Every structure is written in C-alpha cells, then in structure tokens.
Amino acid sequence: MTTRFSILVTGSPFTSQAHHSAQCFVDALYSKGHQVTSVFLYGDGSYVANQLMHPANDESHPHQHWRELAQKHGFKLQACVSAAAKRGILSREDSELSGKSSFNVTSPYEIAGLGAWVEAVANSDKSLHFS
Amino acid sequence: MNLLFILNKPPYSSDIGKESLDMALAHATFDDTVSLLFTGQGVWQLKTDQFAKLAGLKEFTRLYTGLDLYDIDQLFVSENALDTEQLTRDQLMVEASVLNDEAISRLINQQDRVFCL
C-alpha cells in the first residue's frame, strides 16, 4: 500500500543532520513505492535552496542532492517564502519585487507560502519533521 | 485535521517560536483544528510584561492574545514546566489549561499530527 508523506525540514544544511537524514528517508520511501506530497523547507532549512551553494568537490552538497532527488522522483521541493526571504533566499520574481539585483532560487526548487505546506499535510497520510 | 504544536523554546533566543506560531496560524486559516502546548522553556512565550523592544526585537508573542481571531482556543501549558520555570498561572498573558504529564500524553494521542519545531 502506498503511503503519502509530507516532509518538513527545518535544520540548517551544515550544522544539522536534517537534510542528509531527510534525503536518505525520501529516497527510501520511493524505493518502497511510497510518495511525497512535498519536501517543505522552513526556518534554517530554507538555506539549502540557495543555488550559489558551492562546497568543495569532495564534500557533501545538500543543495545538489535535493535537486537530483526531486528530478528523479518528481516531488515538490518548496521553501517557505517568508523564512527564505529573510535569509536572503530569493526567486527571480521575489528578487525583482523587492528591488534586489540578483536571485538564487531556481527550479526544481520553488518558493511557496505556508499554505502550500498546509495543503501538502492535508494531502498526505503522514508528516515527518527533520530538524 | 487535528494538529498540535508543541512550543518548547523561549521566545527570543531564536526565530523558532515566531516561525512555529506562523505555521500554526496558517493551518488554522485553512480550517485545521489547531492546539498549542507550551512546555519546557516555551512557557516563557506566554509570560506577561515582555519588553522585546528593549532588545531590539519584535514582540511576536502579542499574537497569543488574539488567537480567537484564528479560531485557536485550545491552549495548554505543562504543569511540570511551570514548576520548573517557577512561573504561576497568573503570570501568563492568556487563559490556558494546565496539564500534568498524563493529560499531555492523552492530548498528543488525540491528534492527527504533532509538530515541535
């Protein structure tokens, strides 16, 4: 039986294990035939949406890993607009609206309101939080 | 859907209190039934007479006195946490039900989802 999960990630990419654990978990879910309604990045978790993240070649790259997983499995990868904006994580549209000179969020990452998370929870059987 | 948010962190040492409240309000706006449980150092979020401005911070906790606008009327406080933090019920800015650990366990079991950011 397929179970639908909504995944909340609030841990910071490099001072918590949240992203690594969530990525392993999400990949395992799909390998067992389950689904993910959204991976929602909130609080410090939204830092991972920064596409300018550029770690050394032999280090882990949580931004790239989420990108590959979302492309492989097709789940929504959403960062909360208010959490992201205050941390300098901006889509092209939000950047233009706030008069900034650049942006750092690109597809499959999306910027979304908290309503998107509420919807993801409503459409899932279980929710998991990685902090 | 019945959701419980457990608030266990003090109000101003991080943005987590504010971000938890924002998420709880979003759920309430979309017609989920939201309860809040204050436990651990989270009970300080409800303390009267906060002067966050003195520290250059926004006093987001004022929102706790207007939760009826969002149809959130289920506020709970851990009895154990009040004892540990040496706070009394009359030092809290809102009417909240004080629960012992057994009642907290029952509250958690009644929920469809429980979040503790």
| CATH fold group of domain A4-130 | Hypothetical Protein Ychn; Chain: A, (3.40.1260)
Rounded to whole angstroms, the Cα distance separating A28 from A35 reads 10
| CATH number belonging to domain B2-115 | 3.40.1260.10
Dump pLDDT digits (tens) for A77-112: 999 999 999 999 999 999 999 999 999 999 999 999
Residues of A annotated as catalytic (active site), given as ranges: 80
- A118 with B113: Cβ contact below 8 A: no
Q: Is the peptide bond before A108 cis (omega within 30 degrees of 0)?
A: yes
Dump pLDDT digits (tens) for A14-62: 999 999 999 999 999 999 999 999 999 999 999 999 999 999 999 999 9
Asked if B52 is an interface residue toward chain A (Cβ–Cβ < 8 A), one would say no
Domain coordinates in residue numbering, chain A = 4-130
Quote ipTM for the complex: 0.93
Instruction: Tell me if B102 sits within 8 A of A116, measured CB to CB.
Output: no
- B19 with A117: Cβ contact below 8 A: no
- A43 with B16: Cβ contact below 8 A: yes
Instruction: Tell me if A38 sits within 8 A of A6, measured CB to CB.
Output: yes
DSSP secondary-structure letter at A91?
Answer: B
